[in-house]
Chains A and B, each alone.
Chain A
Amino acid sequence: MSRRRVEPFLWLLFSAGGVATAVLVPVLLFLFGVAFPLGWISAPNHGHLLALARNPATAIVLFGLCVLALFHWAHRFRYTLYDGLQIKHLNGLINVCCYGGAIGGSVVAGIVLFSLP
């Protein structure tokens, strides 16, 4: 697949990922990563969260978030490696690791989110 034809779509995925993560991740990370473990806010009970996670709408939104976030990471990290470490000559390897990682991660996300008991 010609790189010139793929770039615009990768950039669109990156942009969509940027918006989705900017809007959704701060509140989720604050609650589950900081507030609940530290006890600042009492953690919701398991039953409520399980019901929430089982809801197909939640699963779809979270899956969309994971996929977009991973492609956002892949695209930005690829350019960070180019500009930060100046290893643009390894771009074949970098592309495989970044976008391959994003695809792999998306598969894992799909499995975790859609196979809840």
Chain B
Amino acid sequence: MTDTITMQVSRYRPEQETAPTVQEYEVPLRGDWVVLDGLNYIKDHQDGTLSYRWSCRMGICGSCGMTVNGEPKLTCATFLTDYKLGPVRVEPLSNFPVIRDLVVEIGDFLRKLPRVMPWIVRDTDKPTTDGEYLQTPAEQDAYKQYSMCINCMLCYSACPVYGLDPHFIGPAAIALAQRYNLDSRDHGAADRLEVLTHPDGVWGCTFVGECTSACPKDVDPAGAIQRYKLSAAMQSIKAFVLPRSAR
């Protein structure tokens, strides 16, 4: 008799219920199976009506984020054997509205992201005939960590400030803004200042630090936010002391 493990999966079918319910399934416990494999097994063999998002199954697309035993996780990167004894509780990513079963509405984040202009902004573009932009390893090192973000939104799920106030721009958006602010090819820091120093921007963050704990790619959004607070504050002082100095 093969080992099995119980998966308690949150179900929400708006056409027949007003709140989520829990459905239990028995799933084979294989040493190399992740939670996503368990969900795929359920959908293939037991209950085809289960709805959830997934794609690359290797931790790079950011689609399969869900709450597993109360923690935001990528289900393609979380092994079933980590929960060997108990049931595995799979719920949709918290702090987002639930559309159906494990599928959440991510429009809020997708609308916030373009507001921080996550692309290279230049005063003057260099024509391609002039060749490529050159960057030293040290210059790349300055922003590389923040470029690892896969937009999985586990940080938004972990952030209590975002949970309490959905207007807060959120960890990933700020980390991505920093990725470009610190890029030597970019000249757009002043343009991003407007959005980031809004009361719903960096100042809402109280440095809980949960975003950094939840991040599967070690982006450290909390560190990015604190660094930005410091640089924005330094800039305010400079503007106050030398109002006419060039930006």
Contact = CB atoms under 8 A, between A and B. Distances in A.
Interface of chain B, main secondary structure: helix
B165 interface: yes
Nearest to A12: B233
Interface of chain A, main secondary structure: helix
Tell which of B160, B203, B235, B237 has the most Cβ of chain A within 10 Å.
B203
Contact of B161 (A3, A5, A83): A83
A88 B120 CA distance: 36
Contact of B203 (A7, A83, A86, A88): A7
Contacts of B229: 8, 11
Contact of B199 (A3, A9, A12, A83): A3
B199 A8 contact: no
B29 interface: no
A82 B167 CA distance: 14
A75 to B, nearest CB: 10
Interface residues of B, number: 15
B198 interface: yes
A86 B197 contact: no
A46 interface: no
A48 interface: no
Contacts of A3: 199
A73 interface: no
A84 B232 CA distance: 26
Contact of B233 (A8, A79, A82, A88): A8
B206 interface: yes
Interface in B189-247: 197-199, 203, 206, 229, 232-233, 235-237
A9 B165 contact: no
Interface residues of A, number: 13
A50 B235 CA distance: 42
A82 B165 CA distance: 10
A29 B224 CA distance: 34
Contacts of B236: 5, 8-9
Interface string B134-171: 00000000000000000000000000110011000000
A8 B232 contact: yes
Contacts of B199: 3-4, 7
Nearest to B199: A3
Contact of B165 (A7, A8, A88): A88
Contacts of A4: 197-199
Interface in A1-39: 3-5, 7-9, 11-12
B164 A86 contact: yes
Given A8-B233, A8-B236, 9 more contacts: A7-B197, A8-B232, A9-B237, A11-B203, A11-B233, A12-B237, A82-B165, A83-B164, A86-B164
24 contacts: A3-B199, A4-B197, A4-B198, A4-B199, A7-B197, A7-B203, A8-B197, A8-B203, A8-B229, A8-B232, A8-B233, A8-B235, A9-B236, A9-B237, A11-B203, A12-B233, A12-B237, A82-B165, A83-B161, A83-B164, A83-B206, A86-B164, A88-B164, A88-B165
